[in-house]
């Protein structure tokens, strides 16, 4: 008995659904249908309505009424019925897109860190070099490292037997040309930018392309001259010992390192920068705190506009908030002082002050050169990178207007490295 009642109830619900759909189509398309078509709608709707309102239900009669409505709306339903899968997919896509845009605009915005100005708190593009006797990753491990760490493997083999020669940038190009070794900026097929470096083996060139923001000169230094303190020290010693030759007007550093044809000259992975979510919501109700890792836009920072040839440099930066309007800051012996006291508000301040692990302390440059102080004007912030020596921040471009603050970094969602989790 209960099964029969359930089937009847289900049939009535189905009939009511088709009645509502027919009524919707009738109202939306009444100005496009002629009198005969409109009368047909009214008649079948009336018949089905009577069938489901009778005391003694006739299931066959109800099903016939449903079939008549289906046939009618299939003929005159227009875009309402039958619904094409294409239309449904577009509608679903638009709903998802609107939700995503709303969440990104008002709540959580994804942000990827391209540089190492906040290292080691957050990673930009980093690398792993494989030694000559170290086992290189196979195809399976390459896929695994790409999925977990966003790692892409690079390998350079000697095309002939000979000495490795490295093209040098001119002194005036070192800062603007992204490093000490000559390179070109090139657009890839995916509209992203790559930096193209050319290595020479005697007079035979071999090209390697890496991400535009990647510090390839550090890889070359660590691989071929780890005993020197830095790239400049390496170049100075090499120039004295081996010298520089010129090929077609290009200065080539003689490394004094020789390879046989087919030898692996360089094998390394480039690991993607940390991707994190930025909370755009909270700062609408609470003010940013000292020590917050905050994201801001650079479009209204005057010094960056001047450095960009007068055009607004509209980018997103992530730095550490170290001072607010009314504060005074200075750096003394790698320690950052706020209002005459060592700064507090985040663990990274103590780590830099004590030069713990990979934190190297704060450095005196530009606006905060040794012996100088900065007074922050009202409605502005002072931003500095945790990797002070490698950070272009307020010491270079000045104060960040409060209106340009986007939000606070809250969670690193990729890659699955030691930094994964809540942002510090």
**Cα(195)–Cα(213) distance, rounded to whole angstroms?**
8
**Cα(282)–Cα(285) distance, rounded to whole angstroms?**
6
Q: Helix, strand, coil: what percent of the chain each, to 5?
A: 35, 30, 35
DSSP type of residue 153 = E
Average pLDDT value over all residues in the chain = 84
Q: What is the pLDDT of residue 177?
A: 45
Whether 21 shows a pLDDT value over 70: the answer reads yes
Q: Choose among 395, 409, 185: nearest CA to 277.
A: 409
Q: Could you tell me what percent of the chain has a pLDDT over 70? A: 87
Q: What is the pLDDT of residue 79?
A: 59
| Distance in Å from the first CA to the final CA of the chain | 64
Q: What is the pLDDT of residue 305?
A: 87
How many residues belong to the chain?
424
- pLDDT range class, residue 114, cuts 50, 70, 90: confident
Whether 179 shows a pLDDT value over 80: the answer reads no
Beta strands in 108-211 (DSSP E): 108-112, 126-129, 152-157, 162-167, 183-187, 193-201, 204-211
Whether 393 shows a pLDDT value over 80: the answer reads yes
Whether 76 shows a pLDDT value over 80: the answer reads no
Instruction: Please tell me which residue, 149 or 90, carries the higher pLDDT value.
Output: 149
pLDDT tens readout for residues 349-391? 999 999 998 899 999 999 999 999 999 999 999 999 999 988 9
- pLDDT range class, residue 83, cuts 50, 70, 90: low
Burial label for 54, CB within 10 Å (0-12, 13-18, 19+), is exposed
pLDDT tens readout for residues 204-246? 899 999 988 888 988 999 999 888 888 888 877 766 667 788 7
Q: Which whole number is the average pLDDT over 40-64?
A: 81
Rg of the chain over Cα atoms, rounded to whole angstroms, equals 33
Q: Which whole number is the average pLDDT over 51-55?
A: 77
Let me know: does 382 contact 400? Beta carbons within 8 Å: yes
**Cα(372)–Cα(364) distance, rounded to whole angstroms?**
9
What are the structural domains of the chain?
2-76 (1.20.1270), 126-271 (no CATH), 275-422 (2.10.109.10)
**Cα(244)–Cα(238) distance, rounded to whole angstroms?**
9
Sign of CA dihedral 144, 124, 166, 259: negative
**Cα(236)–Cα(5) distance, rounded to whole angstroms?**
93
Let me know: does 124 contact 116? Beta carbons within 8 Å: yes
DSSP type of residue 326 = T
* Maximum CA extent, the chain: 107
Burial label for 195, CB within 10 Å (0-12, 13-18, 19+), is buried
Whether 173 shows a pLDDT value over 80: the answer reads no
Sign of CA dihedral 303, 305, 308, 314: positive
Q: Helix 35-53 vs helix 2-29: angle between axes, to the nearest 10 degrees?
A: 160
Task: Give the DSSP letter string of 236-293.
Answer: HHHHHHT-EEEETTEEEEEEEEEE-TT-EEEEEEEEPPPEEEEE-SGGGTS---TT-E
**Cα(114)–Cα(274) distance, rounded to whole angstroms?**
8
Helices (runs of H) and strands (runs of E) counted in the chain: 10, 21
């Amino acid at each position: 008995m209960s099964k029969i009642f359930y089937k009847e109830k289900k049939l009535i619900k189905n009939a009511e659904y088709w009645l509502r759909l027919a009524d919707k189509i009738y109202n939306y398309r009444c100005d496009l249908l002629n009198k005969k078509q409109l009368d047909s709608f009214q008649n079948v709707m009336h018949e089905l309505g009577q069938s489901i309102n009778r005391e003694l239900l006739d299931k066959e009669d109800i099903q016939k009424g449903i079939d008549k409505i289906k046939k009618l709306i299939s003929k005159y339903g227009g875009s309402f019925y039958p619904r094409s899968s294409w239309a449904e997919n577009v509608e679903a896509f638009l709903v998802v897109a609107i939700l995503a845009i709303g969440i990104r605009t008002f709540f959580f915005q994804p942000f990827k860190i391209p540089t190492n100005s906040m290292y080691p708190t957050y990673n930009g593009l980093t690398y792993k070099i494989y030694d000559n006797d170290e086992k290189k990753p196979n195809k399976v491990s390459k896929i695994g490292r790409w999925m977990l760490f966003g790692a892409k493997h690079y390998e350079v083999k000697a095309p002939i037997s000979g000495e490795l020669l490295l093209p040098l940038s001119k002194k005036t190009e070192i800062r603007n040309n992204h490093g000490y070794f000559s390179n070109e900026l090139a657009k890839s097929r995916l509209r992203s930018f790559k930096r193209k470096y050319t290595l020479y083996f005697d007079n035979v060139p071999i090209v390697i392309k890496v991400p535009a923001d990647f510090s390839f000169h550090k890889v070359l230094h660590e691989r071929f001259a780890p005993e020197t303190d830095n790239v400049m020290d390496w170049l100075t010693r090499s120039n004295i010992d081996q010298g520089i030759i010129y090929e077609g007007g290009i200065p080539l550093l003689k490394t004094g390192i020789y390879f046989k044809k087919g030898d692996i000259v360089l094998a390394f992975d480039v690991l993607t920068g940390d991707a994190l979510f930025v909370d755009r919501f909270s700062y609408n109700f609470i003010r940013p705190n000292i020590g917050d890792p905050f994201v801001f836009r650079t479009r209204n920072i005057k010094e960056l506009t001047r450095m960009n040839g007068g055009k607004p440099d509209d980018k997103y930066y992530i730095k550490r908030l170290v001072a607010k309007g009314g504060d005074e800051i200075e750096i003394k012996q790698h320690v950052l002082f706020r209002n005459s006291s060592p700064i507090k508000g985040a663990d990274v301040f103590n780590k830099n002050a004590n030069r713990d692990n990979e934190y190297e302390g704060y450095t005196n440059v530009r606006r905060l050169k040794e012996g100088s102080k900065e007074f922050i004007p009202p409605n502005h912030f002072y931003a500095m990178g945790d990797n002070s020596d490698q950070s272009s921040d307020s010491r270079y471009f000045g104060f960040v207007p409060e209106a340009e603050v986007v939000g606070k970094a809250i969670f690193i969602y990729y890659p699955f490295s030691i930094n994964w989790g809540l942002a510090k």
